[in-house]
Amino acid sequence: MQHTHFLYFWKIWDRGVDIGVGIITSVMIAVIGLLFWRGKLWLDLRAEEQKQLQQHRIAAEIEDERNREEAQQRHEGLKFERERLAKAVEAAPDLQSQAVVWEHFVKSMEDHNLDHRTENLPQTRQRAQFTTVMAAGRRHEAPPERQAEMAAVIRATSV
């Protein structure tokens, strides 16, 4: 009778061991699966981060190129405007016409913030003198050397 209890206990023990081994195996598989999932998630996040960084770099490069092109176009436009104003001063028949061109030049410099550039500071006194002359005597004929000086100051302006 004791022997039958032992066999019964042994059968229960075998089933318990089988269930325990199955649970432990399932837990180990779940932990391994979780670790692989976490690793893949980490790798996917790193890949996405790298992709976004690359997209930001590309966008920044495109923006820089666009800004360079705009600056180049602005520079070319200002050079063209500077030469046009210098020729207009040289061709002005009287002081009044010179004054109009000169006022346009001074306003253009202020609008484009060129009057405060270091390269343009040497011409500041000459510009002030010409502005005073233009304001004082719009009725007089402009001497040709004054026209040449004004054109030289306009051309010497850095853009």
Per-residue model confidence as pLDDT tens digits over 88-140: 888 888 777 887 888 888 888 888 888 777 777 777 777 777 777 666 655 45
Higher pLDDT, 4 or 51: 51
Per-residue model confidence as pLDDT tens digits over 27-54: 999 999 999 999 999 999 999 999 999 9
The helix-helix angle for 95-111 and 124-136 (nearest 10°) equals: 140
| Tokens read off for 18 | 């089988």
Residue 144: the pLDDT is 56
Residue 30, domain member (yes or no): no
Residue 53, domain member (yes or no): yes
Residue 21, domain member (yes or no): no
Q: How far is the C-alpha of 149 from the C-alpha of 62, rounded, in Å?
A: 43
Domain tally, the chain: 1
Mind giving me the DSSP string for 75-126?
A: HHHHHHHHHHHHHHHHH--SHHHHHHHHHHHHHHHHHTT-TTSGGGGGGHHH
Residue 33, domain member (yes or no): no
Residue 143: the pLDDT is 57
Residue 22, domain member (yes or no): no
Residue 143, domain member (yes or no): yes
Look up the domain containing 82 and give its range. 45-156
